[in-house]
Structure 1
Amino acid sequence: MRGKITMQEIADSVGLSKYAVSRALAGKSGVSAHSRELILKKAAELGYRKEIPPAVTPRRRDEQAEDQRRVWTGTVLVLFPDVRSQNPESAYWGPLFEGITAALNQKGIHFATLVKPDIHSLFSLLNPEAIIGVLAVGSIASPILHECRRLGKPVVMVDHWDKGFPCDSIFSDNLAGINEIMSTMLGKGYREYQFVGKIADAYSFYERWLGFNAALMDAGLPQHQIPALLQYEYEGCDEALREAFATRPLPQVFVCANDYYASLLAKAVKKLDPSSEGIVFTGFDNSYPGVTVATVNVEEEILGIRAVDQLLWRIHHPTASYERKLIRGRLVVNE
């Protein structure tokens, strides 16, 4: 008997992104009528049935039973920065937000979402007494986080780390993921690599960069990286690549901080050198099928669900040590 059909399988079957499939199956905007019809038809053919994993962490049975009986009052505040596409409509952050909302709805908890919050108006629009906790999704400014703590609100960061603000956090396991990618590429015999992505933009990018460096060191390969490509923004891809490789050959492999970087870089490399058929790209998050030879499938919805779990646990364990939880992704190799 065939196993459970996934959204990624539907996406691969119709040639669209997993995010588009998620929006269509949920009946949400952002997908054309034609694509929606195509996705729904293919989902029916494959026998897809959506299941939301239970939003609980492994605990004693008595704690789980108590959670099921508990009636939550108050509101969870969800913050998005709206920088570098960090908002509920993006291909990466959108599914994560859906995981958050599914988990909160499952428990009957009200929530309010603020995009690009301003510290001067953070709680002027809301009643601080009604807020029971805060989910900070992406790179929320430190002053806003400190204001939340000043008001006694527990905070869980999702896919972000702030060295000046210790708190619980939920991440994809970036080091494990990039290690699997590099092991795969090294096993295929590739020896010339360049990392691409502004590592200062996201702590996840920085961790992937650290894992990349460790893999080169373990393999005894030189780490001749071009600094400009470690500060490389999404915009201006063609010019940045042309300047970086004006006097040196292109590498065999571009290891990109995420799939979006890989998609932009693949186009820029083709423009720079139309004969560059042997150059390959790796990514992270599996959001641009057909671009990368290796990437990591990140279950963004699970990140959102687990963030809610952690926040609700923190509300009832305010003095416990802070926790950093990692969600392991799945290596995807495209031959």
Structure 2
Amino acid sequence: MQQIADHLGVSKFVVSKALSGKGGVNEMTKERVIQAASQLGYFNQKNGYVKNIRPSAGAAAIPPGKQSVLVLMPNIRSQNKESLYWGKVLEGISDELEEQNLGMIIVSEPRNDVMMNIINPEGILGMIGVGQIATNLLLEVHRIGLPMVLVDHEDNLIPADSIFANNVDGTYRMVNHLIGLGHKDLYFLGNLNFSRSFRDRWLGFRSALEENGLDVQRHDDPMLFLESVETGGFNQGLKDWLNARRQSKSLELPTALVCANDSIALHTIHVLNELGLRVPEDVTVTGFDNIDDAARFDPAITTVSVPKEQLGRRAVTKLLDRLSDANRAVEKWLISVELLYRNSATKPREEHVST
């Protein structure tokens, strides 16, 4: 703490209050302390500010009788039980906990000043975080010493075990499939700031194009920063972008649009249809996640299937592993994904096929 204080030019007392969650420190100073603590490796140290650490005693770390796991799934970005994606992850968590004879407490709209007052840490084995979770909430869990596993999320400040689908590999394989069909003008649609998964899918997309000697869209391309990707609020921006390319003498429509998830793919096809463009005859469109609507849509979406229930189940397994050995290094598990070849992808239109 003295190192942090010296680094920021504040007192050790201020650092202590900021890291302990006590009042008397303004939010800007608190954020500066947390950022500096992360940069200096404070949260990776065993003497970091935590308490009530569960002992490392193998199976004995779980007391006898039915216990509960806190499942934190903030109701943001469509992260809720009704979601075609997140709902399946939650089902996997629930099923695995039930098989382990463990209970589950779901907190969907947490506030710092409420969550820790209503949760008794002594009755909670650990926490599974589902989707995007604010750093300040994870810090509260970290302070009281609850083991945690994050599903589809990582935090730069708080070290924690995490479970992801293999997003890089999935998009890499999808793009290689499209290149094999003859596509050379491909664009990625998503928002790189939306989630770690979206950024990883972009990396897979870019890697496949670079390895095949094809041009990659600029990193500041507006299609990489679509607005409101969870609601389809980007429709007008996408329509304007497509129209500009149709009217340009130097640019052409891409032959394939590789979308960061199925929801974006569904909205994209609606926009293409409004412009009189056919999928896949004029433009190939692919998705990611394999939500139920992707299979029912016409045309059915070529996508990458994420084993959503397994993500949830493996999060429980990882949490139990952590309970049995609190001192092992933090781990990131990747779950394999599968390409699903459906009707929204085909060979590029004739004028793009070289003779």
TM-score, normalised with respect to structure 1: 0.76
Tell me the amino acid that sits aligned with residue 234 of structure 2. Answer: C
Partner of 1:98: helix, strand, or coil? helix
Partner Cα separation in structure 1 for residue 118 and residue 63 of structure 2: 28
* Residue of structure 1 in register with 2:288 after alignment: 284
Is the 8 Å Cα contact of residues 181 and 294 (structure 1) preserved in structure 2?
A: no
Give secondary structure in 2 for the equivalent of 1:78.
Answer: strand
Paired with 1:83 and 1:292, the residues of 2 have a C-alpha distance of 28
C-alpha deviations, 1:208-265, integer Å up to 9, x for none? Answer: 0011011111111111357222111233333111222343232110100011110010
> Which among 208, 211, 224 is matched to residue 230 of structure 1?
224
Give, in whole Å, the separation in 1 of the partners of 2:278 and 2:113: 54
Cα gap change, 1:113 to 1:275, in 2 (>3 Å): closer
* Structure 1 alignment gaps of length 5 or more: 1-62
Question: Aligned partner of 1:175: which letter?
Answer: V
1:77 is paired with a residue whose SS is: strand
Q: Which residue of 1 aligns with 2:18?
A: none
C-alpha spacing 1:72/1:251, structure 2 compared with 1 (3 Å): farther
Output the amino acid matched with 2:287: G
Q: For 2:164 and 2:65, locate their aligned partners in 1 and report how far apart those are by CA, in whole Å.
A: 26
Partner residue of 1:259?
A: 262
In structure 2, the partner of 1:325 is 333
**Larger Rg computed on CA atoms:** 2
Aligned to 1:100: 93
- Residue correspondence of structure 1 range 197-212 to structure 2 within 5 A: 197-212=190-205
Q: Which amino acid aligns with 2:269?
A: A
Q: Which residue does 2:24 correspond to in 1? A: none
Within the candidate set 270, 294, 308, 2:302 is matched to 294
Give the Cα–Cα distance (whole angstroms) in 1 for the partners of residues 278 and 133 of structure 2: 43
CA separation of 1:189 and 1:292: change in aligned 2, threshold 3 A: farther
The equivalences for 1:146-185 within 5 A come to 146-185=139-178
Shift of 1:300: 0.6
Amino acid at match of 1:282: T
Q: Contact 1:238–1:272 at 8 Å: present in 2 too?
A: no
> d(CA) in 2 for partners of 1:188 and 1:244?
25
Deviation per CA, 1:42-75, whole angstroms, max 9, x where unpaired? xxxxxxxxxxxxxxxxxxxxx8xx69x9845532
**Per-residue deviation, residues 280-302 of structure 1 (Å, max 9, x unmatched):** 11111112114455311111111
Aligned-pair CA distance for 1:324: 0.5
Residue of structure 2 equivalent to 1:88? 81
Q: Deviation string for 1:262-319 (max 9, x for gaps)?
A: 0010001111234664201111111211445531111111110000000011012111
Give matches, 1:1-335, under 5 Å. Answer: 71=64, 73-225=66-218, 227-232=221-226, 233-234=228-229, 235-248=232-245, 249-274=252-277, 277-287=281-291, 288-289=294-295, 290=297, 291=299, 294-335=302-343
Q: Please provide the CA RMSD for this pair.
A: 1.9
Quote the Cα distance in structure 1 between the aligned partners of 2:121 and 2:200: 35
- Look up the SS of the partner of 1:250 in the other structure: coil
User: TM-score, normalised on structure 2?
Assistant: 0.72
AA of the residue aligned to 2:240: E
Return the alpha-carbon distance in structure 2 between the equivalents of residues 224 and 314 of structure 1.
41
Given residue 132 of structure 1, which amino acid in structure 2 is its aligned partner?
L
Residues 254, 72 of structure 1: CA spacing in aligned structure 2 closer, same or farther, 3 A cutoff? Answer: farther
Q: Which residue of 1 aligns with 2:17?
A: none
* In structure 1, distance between residues paired with 2:313 and 2:89: 8
Please tell me whether the aligned partners of residues 147 and 323 of structure 2 are also in contact (alpha carbons under 8 angstroms).
Answer: yes
Query: For the Cα contact (< 8 Å) 1:174–1:207, is it kept in 2?
Result: yes
1: CA distance, partners of 2:121 / 2:158: 20
Distance in structure 2 (CA, Å) of the matches to 1:80 and 1:223: 35
TM-superposition CA deviations, 1:152-202 (whole Å, max 9, x none): 101100011112221100010111111110111010000111111112111
After superposition, what is the alpha-carbon deviation per residue over 1:112-142, rounded to whole angstroms, capped at 9, x for unaligned? 0000211111121221221110001001110
Count of residues in correspondence between the two structures: 270
C-alpha separation in 1, matches of 2:102 and 2:278 = 56
1:77-132 CA distance string (max 9 Å, x none):
00012111111210001111011001111111121000021111112122122111
